[in-house]
Structure 1
Amino acid sequence: MNKKSAVPVFFCIPDITGFTRFVTTTDDADFANRVISTVLNKVAEANILAMDIAEIEGDAIFFFKIGRLPAIKKVAQQCQLIYEVFLDAISGFEQTDPDLYHKYLSANQLGMKVIVHHGQVTPTKIGKRTKLMGEDVILAHKLLKNSVVDPCYILLTQKYLVKLKDKKVVKTWFNWDRLKHGKDEYEHFGIVEYAYISLPDCKPLSKSK
């Protein structure tokens, strides 16, 4: 990557957990498609950080924001809002499709994880679209596959955490007592360290600005 043209970028990537199993084991393909499209649309609309979308890849939305790092309070609110709209979208099918809901969704077959990362990218024009290029784009994709077993969680990479000027704010907004630490090894990147927290364990946050 050309360091001179690289710019700082914040990634926030909501990803539906249990997606592959859900799609491949659901007999009603139309219902499965409606569930996934409803969840992704609701999450895309819940964009209080005014992020751009690099791509929507199957079960994940690659939100990004170039430039100044968003305030951690707003990041925490964004992650929790994503979780809330996910739960609302799933529970909505209990009203509209009760039989299918109880067959395919009531046992928490689907979950939501949110990957939060910070790095450098080089925006590149390809046709009429702007494509993000660089190591951190690749790493953001790889982070979707990790060893966290919780179905609903926020993963905060070490590269994001070290950018925070006041480390105490992590305790305030992400419930340090419940924050766990993990690491995974990725080809070409080596060991990548991160912190994570179950979304239900996050402290309730005010939606006020």
Structure 2
Amino acid sequence: MNNMQKSATILIPDISGFTELFSKTELEFSTGILCELLNELIRVADDDFRVAEIEGDAILFYITGKKLSIDELVRYCLRAYIHFHKYLIKVIARVEDAAAREAAEQLDIKFIAHYGPIAEINISNFFKPVGLPLIQAHYLLKNSIESDAYILITEEFADGQELPEGEASWPESLQWRKGSEEYPVIGTINYYYTLLETSETTRAVNVSKA
């Protein structure tokens, strides 16, 4: 069993709006869309990312051995966001039922990024990362940000780095705000976040594929 402690970058892309989609559509249809969108998020991820697990409509990525820079992380998040919505447009075009189409149009995506020490345990030849930072990242999926589309970066991840103001693939500057959450047992988590719901989202989605 390999349980040596190592530092890891943790990233969770989480799709919002699937509860409503599942309630308004047939199971085969909603699970088909979920599978396609999750596969697309994995497809555009950097090779360094490892998939630890898929929980419902969220993917837990992690990288050990190096701390991903904020620039690298933001580039992936924006690339994934654009590809997600491009793919969603294609999916919606195939939907004939009005209620299902309306529910699919409400789907969006947020990203939670954290950094800290983890261990990898071997369970029947499956390596599973464990540790407090992973628990903290999962807790952050429930926060006070009033949006379904954003990038959240914890203070631990941002430590020693500057927050980028823009990317070539994104038409508007990234406006970062500070936030904080208080959770039972694990306490306070401070973070920075930038909203991805901008007036130029449509333009961003039409940018040529990265």
Question: Normalized against structure 1, the TM-score is what?
Answer: 0.84
Structure 2 CA distance for aligned equivalents of residues 49 and 12 of structure 1: 14
1:104 aligned residue? 100
How many residue pairs were aligned?
199
Residue correspondence of structure 1 range 53-68 to structure 2 within 5 A: 53-68=51-66
User: Unpaired runs of 5+ in structure 2?
Assistant: none
More off after superposition, 173-182 vs 149-158: 173-182
1:194 aligned residue? 191
User: Unpaired runs of 5+ in structure 1?
Assistant: none
* SS in structure 1 of the partner of residue 164 of structure 2: helix
Contact 2:166 2:174 in 1 (8 A): no
2:17 aligned residue? 18
RMSD: 2.6
AA matched with 1:88: K
Contact 1:49 1:75 in 2 (8 A): no
Q: 1:8 to 1:109 in 2, by over 3 A?
A: same
2:151 aligned residue? 154
Residue correspondence of structure 1 range 84-163 to structure 2 within 5 A: 84-97=82-95, 99-100=96-97, 102-106=98-102, 108-163=105-160
AA matched with 1:128: N
Please say if 1:185 is aligned against 2:182: yes
Contact 2:164 2:174 in 1 (8 A): no
Q: 1:49 to 1:106 in 2, by over 3 A?
A: farther
Point out the structure with the larger helix share.
Answer: 1
* SS in structure 2 of the partner of residue 86 of structure 1: helix
Identity %, equivalent residues: 28
Structure 1 CA distance for aligned equivalents of residues 43 and 92 of structure 2: 21
* SS in structure 2 of the partner of residue 5 of structure 1: coil
Structure 1 CA distance for aligned equivalents of residues 28 and 133 of structure 2: 35
Contact 2:11 2:113 in 1 (8 A): yes
Contact 2:151 2:193 in 1 (8 A): yes
